[in-house]
């Protein structure tokens, strides 16, 4: 790349940097998109955004990694309506994988990319009452819905120049831990923080008209259009919770929600700081 090309890229990014400086962006990393090299690229993205004043909160899942751990100990994962059936033993495995493994690895990766003092800090939804939950359904065991978010926990960390990395284990009012769907947890956090954007990094290009044809990407739609697709049954499978969360996020006050391909290196920067963008963007009103 020539110096002129580099300069053009920086100039293109300037208005986006000015727009998002001081704003909060919640980034949800799906377990299927977690990869050592891609995590390093994401760490670089988060650090660059932090350096220009964007307040990033990283929320992660870990479904495939939990599945693998369960099978290692002889338990077969069970799902109902897309949610993991979580008995007491499974809950301990989920906490171990999300809080003790994935969270620590992501924190280490981000801190390993900074040339200054470490900035990433791991936070569980159980910590300081960040995520208060209520039970979803007794047949699911310890699966909870977020009833309250304490955003001051994250704002204080951000005010100190730190980057929170959140694992989605919540607790009820008695301190009992619950497994929380990471898509929903990220949505609740973004709404509670009054975030400018929520970005879902997935193992898919975005919303496709034909799930087997990446050329049928839907680049933009409103929350009402998205809800209509969900209700009509034209969207199926694991994309539904993410799409529903996107619609609820923008209806809850988040300016835009994005589903982008986390398997693309530096996808976050491409989406936030370039004219091109990738994936699917959801807004409340059609004003583009």
Write the CB contacts of 158 (distance below 8 Å, at least 6 apart in sequence): 24, 55, 57, 164
Start-end of H helices in 21-151 = 36-51, 63-72, 88-97, 103-113
pLDDT tens-digit profile of 1-52?
A: 677 777 877 888 899 899 999 999 999 998 766 777 788 999 999 999 999 9
Q: Say what the pLDDT of residue 284 is.
A: 87
Instruction: Give the separation between CA 13 and CA 153, rounded to whole angstroms.
Output: 30
The stretch 238-264 carries a mean pLDDT of 91
Summarize pLDDT for 94-135 with one digit per residue, the tens.
999 999 999 999 999 999 998 888 999 999 999 999 999 999
Owner of token pair 């790349």 = 1
Report whether 34 contacts 102 (CB < 8 A).
yes
Whole-number Å distance between alpha carbons of 287 and 285: 6
Per the CB < 8 A criterion, the answer to whether 193 and 155 are in contact is yes
% of the chain residues with pLDDT over 90 = 68
Other CB atoms within 10 Å distance of the CB of residue 90: 22
Mean pLDDT for the chain overall: 91
30 close to 202: Cβ distance less than 8 angstroms: yes
Query: Quick one: residue 160, left, alpha or beta (phi over 0 = left, psi -120 to 50 = alpha)?
Result: alpha
Handedness of CA 239, 85, 39, 11 (dihedral sign): positive
Q: What confidence score (pLDDT) does residue 223 get?
A: 93
Q: Which residues of 175-194 are buried (b: 16+ CB within 10 A; e: fewer)?
A: eebbbbbbbbbbbbbbbbbe
pLDDT reported for residue 286: 74
- For residues 261 and 279, the answer to whether their CB atoms sit within 8 Å is yes
With beta carbons less than 8 A apart as the criterion, state whether 168 and 185 touch. yes
pLDDT for 158-183, tens place per residue? 999 999 999 999 999 999 999 999 99
pLDDT of residue 7: 82
Question: What pLDDT, on the 0 to 100 scale, is given for residue 288?
Answer: 62
Does the structure show a pLDDT above 70 at 76? Answer: yes
Average pLDDT over residues 188-216: 91
Residue in the structure block whose two tokens are 């932090």: 50
Please, what are the domains in the chain?
3-283 (3.40.1160.10)
> Is residue 200 a contact partner of residue 160, using CB atoms and an 8 Å limit?
no
CA distances from 267 to 35, 75, 272 (A): 14, 35, 9
* Percent of the chain predicted with pLDDT > 70: 98
**Distance of CA 144 to CAs 1, 78, 122, 190, 280, Å?**
49, 16, 21, 18, 28
Torsional class of 248: left (φ above 0), alpha (ψ -120 to 50), beta (otherwise): alpha
CA 140 to chain centre: 23
Top-confidence residue, 241 or 255: 255
């Amino acid at each position: 790349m020539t110096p002129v090309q580099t300069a053009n890229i920086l100039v293109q990014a300037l208005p986006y940097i000015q727009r998002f400086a001081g704003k909060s962006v919640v980034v949800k990393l799906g377990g299927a998109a977690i990869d050592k090299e891609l995590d390093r690229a994401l760490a670089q993205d988060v650090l660059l955004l932090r350096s220009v004043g964007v307040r990033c909160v990283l929320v992660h899942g870990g479904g495939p990694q939990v599945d693998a751990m369960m099978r290692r100990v002889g338990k077969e994962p069970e799902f109902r309506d897309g949610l993991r059936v979580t008995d007491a033993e499974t809950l301990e495995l989920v906490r171990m994988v999300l809080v003790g493994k994935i969270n620590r690895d992501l924190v280490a990766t981000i801190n390993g990319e900074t040339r200054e003092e470490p900035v990433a800090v791991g936070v569980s939804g159980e910590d300081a009452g960040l995520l208060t939950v209520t039970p979803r359904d007794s047949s699911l065991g310890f699966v909870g819905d977020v009833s309250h978010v304490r955003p001051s926990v994250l704002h204080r960390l951000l005010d100190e120049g730190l980057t929170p990395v959140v694992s989605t284990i919540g607790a009820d009012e008695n301190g009992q831990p619950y497994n929380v769907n990471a898509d929903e947890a990220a949505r609740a956090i973004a709404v509670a923080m009054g975030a400018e954007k929520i970005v879902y990094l997935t193992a898919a290009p975005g919303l496709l008209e034909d799930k087997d044809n990446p050329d049928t990407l839907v680049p933009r739609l409103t929350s009402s259009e998205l809800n209509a697709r969900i209700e009509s049954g034209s969207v199926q499978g694991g994309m539904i919770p993410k799409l529903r969360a996107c619609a609820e996020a923008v209806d809850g006050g988040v300016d835009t929600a994005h589903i982008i391909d986390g398997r693309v290196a530096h996808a976050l920067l491409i989406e936030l700081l370039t004219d091109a963008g990738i994936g699917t963007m959801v807004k409340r009103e059609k004003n583009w």
